């Protein structure tokens, strides 16, 4: 059936209806009621519109909500009072609606669009220390995704877990530290104070624990975490003025405050860098991988870019490779390369196979040459990416972690191969 669109009445019909309303208003005025003002036709130049009647219940709801007058009335317009500007009432309604929306957002904890933009731009983490410092989280380096086949293989590696029967027993203080309850040294003090029990018996230093054992500290049960999933590794470009420590009594910024928290385990720093040294700093969730890369017996190379005031002679460079005596013993570079420079500044690349405290700086100071800048550019098989800016981090993909654990002679879960 064809629908016919409703058409507006003709001008003559509209004028007739207006005349009928005028006559009815005059009759009401002759009975003692105030006479109504002449009704304006839709073609009047004043631009006034006819008020629409509303029900009593709607009027009560409007009064309860404390809404402004919207130009509606429950009776026909028979009064002589002048009508106000309709835009004033509309602006009041908009203002009240904005205020109610803001109040509802505050009650529900919803951020305004401005606050949401500010939150996405900068993430500030407030740590509850005495200094009340605000530490900005490190940003993730932008990278491209691999192919679909590579992403599918990474998903398989990510979801793989070890069964509890495949996890070997380990020392109690090591498991407690891995669970994020504190450093290994702190856990040893807690065990020596007889505050830890295993299955209802007081634990001793050096005892081992296995999955399924009930461990309690001060009577409260502890949820132990085990290395049952794939190792995680991140590369962080350390800045000057950051301390490689979990806690600093002086309130300085630490690298662990800059990193994102990992809930399944905890980050372990692979080696250290001085307070004023920049460059590549590695973190992992595998204690065995950290031990393989930092222990002197494994002889893992560390390469540094060094800027000094002055220049070494060929004899001094040869002596540095042969060995110089320091306060804590003899030290030497595996290699040293002259990279040139401008003015009083000169650059060298050095390779060392151990990580004693301020060792590179002290070796140059042995010849009264001060180091003005020190940057680690390589640690073992890991090189500092050129796109990794200071204060940013990059987490290795599952395929890259698999290659790293194979290079270190470990399983993908960070265990020593049989």
Annotated catalytic residues are 274
Phi/psi at 233 (5° precision): -135, 135
Which H/E stretch holds residue 216? strand 215-217
């Amino acid at each position: 059936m064809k629908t016919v669109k409703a058409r507006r009445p003709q001008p003559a019909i509209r004028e007739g209806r207006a005349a009928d309303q005028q006559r009815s208003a005059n009759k009401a005025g002759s009975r003692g009621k105030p006479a109504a003002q002449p009704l304006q036709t839709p073609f009047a130049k004043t631009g006034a519109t006819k008020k629409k009647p509303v029900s009593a219940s709607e009027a009560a709801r409007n009064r309860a909500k404390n809404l402004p007058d919207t130009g509606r009335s429950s009776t026909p317009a028979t009064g002589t009072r002048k009508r106000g500007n309709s835009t004033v009432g509309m602006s009041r309604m908009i203002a009240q609606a904005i205020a109610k929306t803001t109040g509802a957002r505050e009650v529900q904890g919803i951020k305004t669009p401005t606050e949401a933009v500010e939150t996405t731009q900068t993430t500030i983490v407030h740590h509850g220390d005495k200094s009340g410092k605000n530490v900005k989280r490190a940003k993730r380096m932008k990278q491209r995704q691999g192919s679909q086949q590579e992403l599918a293989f990474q998903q398989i590696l990510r979801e793989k877990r070890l069964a509890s029967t495949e996890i070997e027993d380990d020392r109690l203080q090591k498991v407690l530290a891995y669970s994020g309850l504190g450093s290994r040294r702190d856990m040893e003090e807690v065990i020596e104070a007889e505050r830890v029990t295993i299955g209802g018996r007081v634990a001793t230093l050096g005892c081992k624990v296995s999955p399924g054992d009930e461990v309690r500290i001060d009577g409260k049960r502890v949820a132990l975490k085990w290395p049952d999933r794939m190792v995680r590794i991140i590369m962080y470009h350390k800045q000057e003025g950051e301390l490689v420590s979990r806690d600093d009594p002086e309130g300085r910024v630490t690298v662990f405050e800059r990193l994102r928290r990992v809930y399944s385990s905890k980050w372990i720093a692979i080696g250290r860098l001085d307070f004023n040294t920049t460059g590549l700093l590695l973190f992992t969730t595998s204690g065995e991988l950290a031990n393989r890369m930092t222990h002197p017996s494994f002889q893992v190379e560390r390469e540094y870019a060094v800027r000094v005031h002055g220049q070494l002679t060929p004899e001094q460079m040869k002596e540095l490779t042969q060995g110089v005596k320091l306060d804590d013993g003899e030290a030497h570079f595996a290699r040293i390369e002259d990279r040139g420079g401008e003015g009083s500044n000169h650059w060298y690349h050095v390779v060392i196979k151990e990580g004693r405290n301020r060792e590179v700086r002290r070796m140059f100071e042995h010849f009264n040459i001060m180091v003005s800048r020190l940057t680690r550019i390589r640690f073992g098989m890991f090189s500092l990416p050129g796109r990794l800016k200071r204060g940013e981090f990059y987490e290795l993909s599952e395929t890259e972690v698999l290659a790293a654990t194979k290079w270190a002679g470990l399983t993908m879960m960070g265990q020593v191969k049989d």
